[in-house]
Structure 1
Amino acid sequence: MTSIHCKIAILLCMIIIQSERWRKLRNIVQWTPFFQTYKKQRYPWIQLAGHQGNFKAGPDQGTILKKLCPQEEMCFQLLMKDILRPFVPEYKGQVTCEDGELYLQLQDLLSDFDCPCVMDCKIGVRTYLEEELAKAKEKTKLRKDMYEKMIQIDPKAPSEEEHRSKGVTKPRYMIWRETISSTATLGFRIDGVKKADGTSSKDFKTTKTREQIVEAFKDFTSSFPNSVPRYLERLKSIRATVQESHFFRTHELIGSSLLFVHDKRRASVWMIDFAKTVPVPEAVNIDHNSAWKVGNHEDGYLIGLNNLISIFETLAKDAEPPRDSYTTLSLDIDSNVRQDRLAT
């Protein structure tokens, strides 16, 4: 072997060794606690909403992939042409991943935030479609798993007969589940919260009263009270826009959420999760603000939104500084300045 061949062989060996070293280093970096924590904090609403396994990092900066649901994709296609577009994640098309699974490429709503606080609120007076309830009623077998979930939350919830049989039907469980939270009373419920320090909680199953909800939102915004007026403004904008939206007028929004996000600099709210959003049947009109009865397809979206706005108005009022002499003086000076300008 010539000296040139020896040098080439040595160089190739060095490249292979360096590549192997980099592969090992990359694996170490990917599995360090810091990197894993970063990935978990990057997409905290995944854990909050219970969608583990449905999301992946997007191929482009500022995007995220959500496992394809044809109904949700149809909704996003319509929303991109609707006046609600500024209030939902931007839909950027369909992506096929290396595993062959299809995903929706969506705007990463957290990309502009630094260590954000996140809250997922499920909105509406029910989280199941009428068709789901009808199918469940066709097969009224007793479910032991649902009975066990029920007694874990409230041992007194099942009837004597249900206790004896140690089972409840799915329709019974579905309807009961909505009554233990603020879903039935206020038209929304808190599904989960993740704070800037990384702590999170989904322990809101029995958070039901307005007072309990107010305290939860106070705790959520305590690190950045300036987020309250920004959230209030955004919620009012959403309400004004949905009332003019063709999409909103013609669809029943079930299991949809409002995602609250804030950090030390900004705060915003988005409408998310449209897998159970379906067109209202022909010849049926809904106002999203009436009580639900089987067959009328009302979802109570505006009931929840109006209650959220009322709660944030309370929070904003509580956060207002007292009107002291300094405030009065400032107003008087400002008034005098305006009068002087008018006089000139």
Structure 2
Amino acid sequence: MTVSSKMNSVSRQSMLGRFGPGGLLYTANKLIAVAAGKDEDRWRSKNEGALFKRWKRAAPSVEPAPPMPAPTTPTSQPSDLLKFLAINALELSAPASDALLKTRSSEWFQLSGHPGSLAPAGPGTVWKRRAVGDHPSHNPERDAYEALAACPHMRSAIPRYYRELEYGGEHFIELQDLLHGFRDPHVMDIKMGTRTFLEEEVSNARARRDLYEKMVRLDPSAPTEAEHAARAVTKLRYMQFRENSSSSAEQGFRIEAVKLPGQLPLTDLQKVREPKHLASTVARFIGKDERARTAIASRLREIRDLFEKSDFFKTHEIVGSSIFIIYDEERVGAWLIDFAKTRSLPEGVHVTHRKPWEQGNHEEGFLYGLDRLIETIETAKLPEVCLEPDVSR
């Protein structure tokens, strides 16, 4: 969108812009605070020194501003153009200030599954921090986004990729904010694949006490007698236990989180694993909006078709990626996101993205899961007479 079209939109709506669900407006006072915010204070927690404060959602009361009479005396308030530029400049310089973040809804960042890795950068963009452990010269997620952005089959199926940048000694990629333009939408974050860990993560066969203790905390009955006796399990055993505790291993996808309009996000969904419970969760997400169901299923079939045509996916394993679905009363969208664990296949290795995984074959079940997700979206419906389905178990 050009600056002029943005400004026309601003004029029509008597506001500077909408950011995220709820259509929150920015007043002149907040814009002044944006311009005056200090970079370091925006990014560093005083208590922990950690990047990205965990902003809590603020819900200020927003009322339409009355028409402003033509000023007869000089005023210190910025003009509409200056206010617009103050916000728009954030896309090009640094993440948004405290004032912007505290008034902006943060459902995407809560649903993303990566607390502390995403921050609003400006109107319509976010910054995502490079995955911990990646070498400075090796950024698999950046490489994946750049390749997919150049792929005629896939560029429409991913968030728009803008650039890689460095800020405060940290490295980020700038991406399209998928929530931008939606008004109080339904949001669902779905982790894809039967395997969501890299093969290199489980190559060490040493049994570990810390993983045994994690397993016992999650399910005391999960370890075998031998594992109880050794009080240790391997990383592979633990990761497969985690996949089988969710719907990933059986269905090829798991619902990470759901946000319904006017409600807090549901994020404790990893143990929703039975097909009937998955269907109940999806049914609650869609409700009785058949328009949304049809559009979501059509978009997912489109993503599947594009995926199967893409040379990139013929030569890569897609581990830990997600499908991000959003809809409101006017728009429906779904995108493929998260490529931090995308890796090139070894020479001579070919995958179908549907076959079962065996160590060394690099199958991850992405398309297997997408087939089942589409079927679930198309068929899951609320009972005619029911209480709201319990999606927390």
TM-score, normalisation: structure 2: 0.68
- Counterpart of 2:150 (choices 70, 81, 93) is 81
Partners of 1:193 and 1:147 lie apart in 2 by 30
Instruction: Look up the equivalent residue of 1:241 and give its one-letter code.
Output: L
Contact between 1:116 and 1:262, CA under 8 Å: does it hold in 2? yes
Partner deviation per Cα, 1:39-95 (whole Å, 9 max, x = no partner): 58634232223311111221x421110013411000111001111100101110022
SS at match of 1:247: helix
For residue 230 of structure 1, report the CA deviation from its aligned partner: 0.9
Answer yes or no: is 1:153 the counterpart of 2:221.
no
Partners of 1:298 and 1:165 lie apart in 2 by 31
Contact between 1:260 and 1:270, CA under 8 Å: does it hold in 2? yes
Structure with the largest fraction of helix = 1
Partners of 2:290 and 2:217 lie apart in 1 by 35
- Counterpart of 2:115 (choices 49, 52, 55) is 52
Going from structure 1 to structure 2, the CA distance change for 1:38 and 1:102 (only over 3 Å counts) comes to closer
* 1:1-344 alignment runs, 5 A limit: 33-34=58-59, 39=102, 42-58=105-121, 60-69=122-131, 70-82=139-151, 83-97=153-167, 99-134=168-203, 136-137=204-205, 140-144=206-210, 146-222=211-287, 224-315=289-380
Partners of 1:85 and 1:164 lie apart in 2 by 51
For residue 101 of structure 1, report the CA deviation from its aligned partner: 1.6
Partners of 2:277 and 2:109 lie apart in 1 by 24
Match of 1:330 in 2: none
Gaps of 5+ in 2: 1-28, 38-54, 61-98, 132-138, 385-393
SS at match of 1:95: strand
Going from structure 1 to structure 2, the CA distance change for 1:116 and 1:285 (only over 3 Å counts) comes to same
Partners of 1:316 and 1:234 lie apart in 2 by 19
Partners of 1:233 and 1:213 lie apart in 2 by 20
Contact between 1:42 and 1:110, CA under 8 Å: does it hold in 2? no
Length, aligned pairs only:
289
Partners of 1:55 and 1:75 lie apart in 2 by 18
For residue 315 of structure 1, report the CA deviation from its aligned partner: 3.1
Please tell me whether Structure 1 or Structure 2 has the larger radius of gyration of its CA atoms: 1
Partners of 1:227 and 1:41 lie apart in 2 by 25
For residue 253 of structure 1, report the CA deviation from its aligned partner: 0.1
Instruction: Look up the equivalent residue of 1:149 and give its one-letter code.
Output: K
Going from structure 1 to structure 2, the CA distance change for 1:205 and 1:268 (only over 3 Å counts) comes to same
Partners of 1:252 and 1:101 lie apart in 2 by 27
Contact between 1:228 and 1:315, CA under 8 Å: does it hold in 2? no
What is the CA RMSD across the aligned residues, in angstroms? Answer: 2.7
Instruction: Look up the equivalent residue of 1:155 and give its one-letter code.
Output: P
Contact between 2:251 and 2:369, CA under 8 Å: does it hold in 1? yes
Going from structure 1 to structure 2, the CA distance change for 1:284 and 1:318 (only over 3 Å counts) comes to farther
Contact between 2:320 and 2:341, CA under 8 Å: does it hold in 1? yes
For residue 318 of structure 1, report the CA deviation from its aligned partner: 8.6
SS at match of 1:277: strand
SS at match of 2:189: strand
Going from structure 1 to structure 2, the CA distance change for 1:196 and 1:37 (only over 3 Å counts) comes to farther
For residue 158 of structure 1, report the CA deviation from its aligned partner: 1.4
Identity of aligned residues (%): 36
Going from structure 1 to structure 2, the CA distance change for 1:241 and 1:317 (only over 3 Å counts) comes to farther
Contact between 1:228 and 1:316, CA under 8 Å: does it hold in 2? no
Partners of 1:161 and 1:243 lie apart in 2 by 43
Partners of 1:209 and 1:111 lie apart in 2 by 33
Gaps of 5+ in 1: 1-18, 320-344
Going from structure 1 to structure 2, the CA distance change for 1:61 and 1:223 (only over 3 Å counts) comes to farther
SS at match of 1:89: coil
Q: Which has the higher contact order (CA 8 A, sep 6+)?
A: 1
For residue 198 of structure 1, report the CA deviation from its aligned partner: 3.7
For residue 162 of structure 1, report the CA deviation from its aligned partner: 3.0
Instruction: Look up the equivalent residue of 1:288 and give its one-letter code.
Output: H
Instruction: Look up the equivalent residue of 2:219 and give its one-letter code.
Output: D
Contact between 2:227 and 2:233, CA under 8 Å: does it hold in 1? yes
Partners of 1:132 and 1:282 lie apart in 2 by 20
Instruction: Look up the equivalent residue of 2:119 and give its one-letter code.
Output: K
TM-score, normalisation: structure 1: 0.77
